[in-house]
């Protein structure tokens, strides 16, 4: 009897209302916890010489050490909030900032990633501005620590090399280290890597241990913080290159290292570490699951549902062609056509891939005309408003929390002007993809299968042009997460509306928006 009720119209309605309420409770709870995590900390926004900064000031008014925190490639100062809040809670003045071309910094980033000297000079100048600003704050006691992620590692080490007496300690999270500077004489270096990262990435850090030990063990401190000779290699369990920023292990190690090196009065005890990771997960889980009951409110736009719904075998026969041809066709195409680093290549890759899929779909359609579905009745007057509404949810309901708690997501004028071009590339791919994978006879797992081929195509592109596209390796996991989430949402949208166009536009805009605001600006 209970089973029959659950599958009845009343039962399904009750389930949808239950999911909606649970999702709203999850969202409100997560926002409450995230807001509460900054209680007792004064947060100020400022800008100095074009460098946007956020100051995190501890509750006590006694002089305190300054911790300047730098983000990595395609990051922003918002990404470094867990470190900044953790340190401010424990008596430090924390300062985060946006490197040129990143976040809200309108100064262009270097267009050629291989131009190491120009890159270091550009990023080093922004770091110098942040350090000078931090040390000049009324509550600063003159002691300084530097913390940085990924690309920032090399810049922090360069600054320490050039100012050997200024920096008392440094924390380098999954750092990029070029080997251009001697590390043996630098003060108190902690290296933290994600346990899921390749151990080969540790090798450049080993040079910092010098005569202390040729083969440092994880979790062992060598040297002494009091004289600046301390060195430590640590792993954050269960995380990779980006997850290390939220890992409790990384935050505890960072706080303990600074406490031992330049800690304020009372330092050295078990500190209050930021725990926003689970609350962020709950927040976005709530936003995503809320989309399911909301999607059931959308009107049916096409009867019968539109879409070719290719079989898995047909997809397998077709998809290897764009997956292989796209990297080969774009192998010699110069990067730098758009003023966003690597976005021009990604947009072009999606566009060419999509065009090839449309060519194959045209060929498939001519061969299977007798299998085509009858003409559908389409509610044209509702198609536009529904598409705008759904695209707004996918872009803003997810994007605004991302901007507040994860990374910069609101585009400036320069990025907003580029967004339509990136959107066009995404639209060419997702329109073909939705048409192939949606329909009354669509094969189970078809949507996931097409993304596997796309992902393999991007990996092949990086392999063929490793020097030019190297930093895509860092971004590919984030793209995979986006494709997974948006695929789930577009499936709900299609089942409600029966029209592939709604999900096509919504997903294409959301992904184009994310790319346009994340990758570095190289020309203003």
CA-wise closest residue to 518 among 467, 482, 466, 468: 482
Residue 465 CB coordination number (10 Å): 18
Shortest CA distance to 246 belongs to which of 85, 472, 127, 55? 85
pLDDT of residue 9: 64
Residue 285 pLDDT: 97
C-alpha–C-alpha distance, residues 145 and 481, integer Å: 33
CA gap 443, 514 in Å, rounded? 29
Q: Which residue has the tokens 């596997």?
A: 452
pLDDT the model gives residue 301: 96
Token representation of residue 444: 């189970």
pTM surpassing 0.75? Answer: yes
- Residue 328: strand, helix, or coil: helix
pLDDT of residue 474: 78
pLDDT of amino acid 209: 92
Residue appearing with tokens 């796209």: 326
What distance in Å separates the CA atoms of residue 11 and residue 315, rounded to the nearest whole number? 37
> Burial code of 87-116, b = ≥16 C-beta within 10 A, e = fewer?
bbbbbbbbbbbbbbbbbbbbbbbbbebeee
- Sequential DSSP letters for 21-50: HHHHHHHHHHHHHHHHTTTT-EEEEEEETT
**CA dihedral sign, ordered 231, 233, 239, 242:** positive
Which pLDDT value is given to residue 266?
A: 62
Helix (H) or strand (E) segment spanning residue 145: strand 140-149
Q: Within 10 A of 441 (CB to CB), how many other CB atoms are there?
A: 11
Q: State the pLDDT at residue 492.
A: 96
Per-residue pLDDT of the chain (524 residues; tens, 9 = 90+): 445 545 566 777 899 999 999 999 999 999 999 999 898 899 999 999 999 999 999 988 889 999 999 999 999 999 999 999 999 999 999 999 999 999 999 999 998 877 888 999 999 999 999 999 999 999 999 999 999 999 999 999 999 999 989 999 999 999 999 877 888 889 999 999 999 998 888 999 998 998 888 889 999 999 999 999 999 999 999 999 999 999 999 999 999 999 999 987 666 556 789 999 999 999 999 999 999 999 999 999 999 899 988 888 889 999 999 999 999 999 988 888 889 988 999 999 999 999 999 999 988 877 765 555 567 789 999 999 999 999 999 999 999 999 999 999 988 898 999 999 999 999 999 999 999 999 877 888 899 999 999 999 999 999 999 888 888 887 888 888 899 999 999 999 999 999 999 999 999 999 999 999 999 999 75
Neighbouring CB atoms inside 10 A of 63's CB total: 15
> Judging by DSSP bridges, how do beta strands 231-236 and 189-194 pair with one another?
parallel
Q: Give the per-residue pLDDT at 372.
A: 53
Q: What is the DSSP string of 459-502?
A: HHHHHHTHHHHTTHHHHHHHHHHHHHHHHHHHHHHHHHH--HHH
Q: How far apart are CA 232 and CA 259, in angstroms?
A: 14
Choose among 212, 248, 262: nearest CA to 232. Answer: 212
Residues in the chain: 524
Both tokens assigned to 299? 């009107």
* 48, burial (CB in 10 Å: exposed 0-12, middle 13-18, buried 19+): middle
Which residues neighbour 514 within 8 Å (Cβ) at sequence distance 6 or greater? Answer: 399, 409, 482
pLDDT attached to residue 115: 83
Burial level of 290, CB count in 10 A (0-12/13-18/19+)?
buried
Inter-CA distances, 114 with 203, 454, 467, 469, Å:
21, 27, 8, 11
Helix (H) or strand (E) holding 347: helix 343-367
Q: Which of 224, 222, 240, 245 is nearest to 232 (CA)?
A: 222
Burial 329-358 (b: 16+ CB within 10 A, else e): ebeeeebeebbbbbbbbbbbbbbbbbbbbb
The residues, any chain, with a CB within 8 Å of residue 126's CB and separated by 6 or more, are: 51, 97, 98, 99, 100, 105, 107
Beta carbons within 10 angstroms of residue 266's beta carbon: 11
């Amino acid at each position: 009897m209970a089973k029959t009720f659950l599958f009845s119209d009343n039962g399904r309605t009750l389930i949808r209302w239950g999911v909606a309420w649970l999702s709203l409770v999850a969202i409100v709870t997560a926002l409450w916890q995230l807001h509460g995590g900054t209680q007792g900390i004064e947060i100020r926004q400022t800008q100095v010489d074009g460098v946007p900064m956020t100051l995190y000031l501890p509750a006590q008014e006694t002089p305190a050490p300054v911790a300047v925190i730098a983000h990595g490639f395609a990051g922003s100062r918002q990404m470094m909030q867990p470190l900044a809040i953790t340190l401010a809670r424990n008596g430090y003045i924390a300062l985060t900032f946006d490197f040129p071309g990143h976040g809200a910094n309108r100064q262009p980033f270097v267009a050629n990633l291989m131009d190491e000297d120009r890159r270091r000079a550009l990023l080093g100048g922004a770091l110098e501005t942040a350090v000078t600003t931090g040390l000049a704050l009324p509550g600063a006691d003159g002691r300084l620590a530097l913390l940085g992620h990924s690309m920032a590692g090399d810049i922090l080490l360069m600054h320490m090399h050039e100012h050997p007496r200024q920096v008392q300690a440094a924390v380098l999270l999954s750092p990029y280290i070029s080997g251009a500077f001697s590390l043996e004489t630098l003060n108190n270096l902690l290296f933290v890597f994600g346990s899921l990262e390749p151990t080969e990435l540790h090798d450049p850090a080993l040079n910092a241990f010098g005569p202390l030990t040729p083969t440092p063990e994880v979790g062992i401190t060598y040297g002494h913080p009091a004289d600046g000779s301390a060195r430590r290699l640590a792993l954050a369990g269960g995380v990779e290159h980006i997850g290390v920023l939220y890992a409790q292990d990384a935050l505890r190690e960072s706080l303990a290292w600074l406490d031992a090196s330049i800690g304020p009065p009372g330092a050295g005890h078990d500190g209050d570490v930021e725990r926003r990771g689970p609350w962020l997960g709950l927040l976005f889980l709530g936003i995503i699951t809320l989309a399911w009951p909301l999607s059931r409110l959308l009107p049916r736009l096409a009867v019968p549902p539109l879409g070719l719904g290719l079989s898995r075998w047909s997809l397998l026969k077709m998809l290897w062609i764009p997956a292989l041809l796209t990297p080969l066709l774009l192998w010699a195409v110069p990067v730098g056509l758009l003023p966003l680093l690597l976005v021009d290549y990604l947009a072009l890759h999606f566009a060419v891939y999509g065009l090839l899929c449309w060519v194959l779909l045209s060929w498939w359609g001519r061969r299977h005309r007798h299998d085509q579905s009858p003409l559908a009745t389409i509610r044209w007057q509702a198609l536009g408003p529904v598409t705008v509404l759904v695209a707004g949810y996918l872009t803003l309901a997810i994007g605004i929390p991302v901007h507040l708690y994860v990374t910069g997501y609101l585009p400036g004028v320069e990025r907003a002007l580029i967004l339509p071009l990136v959107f066009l590339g995404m639209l060419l791919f997702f329109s073909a993809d939705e048409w192939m994978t949606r329909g009354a006879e669509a094969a189970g797992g078809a949507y996931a299968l097409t993304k596997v081929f796309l992902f393999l195509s991007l990996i092949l592109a990086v392999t063929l042009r490793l020097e030019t596209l190297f930093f895509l390796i860092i971004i590919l996991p984030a793209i995979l997460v986006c494709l997974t989430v948006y695929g789930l949402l577009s499936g709900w949208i299609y089942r409600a509306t029966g029209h592939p166009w709604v999900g096509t536009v919504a997903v294409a805009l959301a992904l184009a928006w994310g790319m346009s605001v994340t990758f570095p600006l190289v020309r203003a």
